[in-house]
Amino acid sequence: MYFWAHKRCIAALTVYKLGEKHDSIDSLCEKFYNRIMENCKLCPRRCGADRVKTTGFCGGGNEMKIAKVMLHYGEEPLISGSRGSGAIFFSGCNLKCVYCQNAPISSGNAGRIFTESEFIDAALRLRDAGAHNIDLITAGHYVHQLIPALEKLRARLDIPVVYNSSGYEYADTVKMLDGLIDVYLPDFKYAGRELAEKYSSAPDYASIAVEAIREMCRQRGKAVIENGLLKSGVIVRHLVLPGGRRDSIAAMRIIADSFENALVSIMRQYTPCFYRGSLPELKRKVTSFEYESVVDEAVKYGLNGFIQDGSSATDELTPDFNEIF
């Protein structure tokens, strides 16, 4: 996987070794990507799907699928600012939490295929509409298409690029993005194995996410804030779940111990209307006691960042995924 970060060097070496003088580097890169995608092990699911012909566990194939392009005002104040974040919601997800508020897109069903040029045009349209940044939401399963697209986009872009992630990805995947991302906005959803298995079928979530977020902090650890906007840095998000107070308290300690210089965003926006299962604890909102206990723990560890009030638990800020633009 780490080879993708140096795709042009590898392709050039292939040309030299094989003497394929008539193949362009881009053509060779495409062949290289396709070979990897024929047995996909990009993420910790390691599903082995042939994503050239079908879709993986994540719902993604071999081309970028995008469900929504919009100015988004529901991110942290340092991200949304006054004019909104330029959000690009990618279709599919490798985590598929049972309580997901974006289930229409995390399933991989919503949206359409975007070419590289269409993706770049969408980002530039958002910039021209006044977006403070370009916010790539759940894009990790398309990183092999995203890297060359970002290389071209950044040459024309004068605002930060935000990578908005579930946290469930290999650190090597994050290394591929070094130099292309200004702000990392990962989740750290679970501290222990029990809830990670119960709600996301990912008992190894914490160990995987810790390494990925450490790499994010290595790249962009110390926050750079200008005119009330985050230009570079890491904000680690944690959603407090009903009945999950102990796990959330443990998560605060891991965040404090593991992610140097990162800001933290403790979210209270769990909304039971998005849950369609039978687990009784997920059919209610988080109580004030649950949420404030977690905030108190964050304060104890000296964490800095953002908190939410009870009004955040609403579906009003969830985008309409019936239309892309």
- pLDDT of 64-123, one tens digit each? 999 999 999 999 999 999 999 999 999 999 999 999 988 888 887 889 999 999 999 999
- Mean pLDDT of all residues belonging to the chain: 89
* Residue 319: predicted pLDDT: 74
* Residue 316: predicted pLDDT: 67
Strands 134-137 and 85-90: parallel
Give tens-digit pLDDT for 113-171.
999 999 999 999 999 999 999 999 999 999 999 999 999 999 999 999 999 999 999 99
E strand or H helix at 257, and its extent? helix 245-258
pTM attached to this predicted model? 0.90
61, 51 Cβ separation under 8 angstroms: yes
Question: CA 299, 301, 306, 312: dihedral to nearest 10 degrees?
Answer: -70
Q: Which has the closest alpha carbon to 281: 150, 98, 82? A: 98
d(CA 157, CA 119): 13
Query: Mean per-residue pLDDT for 217-236?
Result: 96
Taking phi over 0 as left and psi of -120 to 50 as alpha, with beta for the rest, 233 belongs to left
* Residue 109: predicted pLDDT: 80
d(CA 298, CA 82): 27
From 112-116, 219-223, 259-263, the region with the lowest mean pLDDT: 219-223
* Residue 83: predicted pLDDT: 97
Provide Rg for the chain, Cα atoms: 20
Q: Which has the closest alpha carbon to 220: 233, 209, 208, 229? A: 233
* Residue 302: predicted pLDDT: 96
The DSSP result for 89-142, as a single string, is: EES--SS--TT-TTHHHHTS-SSEE--HHHHHHHHHHHHHTT-SSEEEES-GGG
Beta bridge partners of 186: 165
For the domain spanning 38-312, the CATH number is: 3.20.20.70
Please report, rounded to a whole number, the percentage of residues in the chain having pLDDT higher than 70: 88
Q: Where are the domains of the chain?
A: 1-37, 38-312
Strands 263-267 and 305-307: parallel
Q: How many other C-beta atoms are found inside a 10 Å radius of the C-beta of residue 42?
A: 26
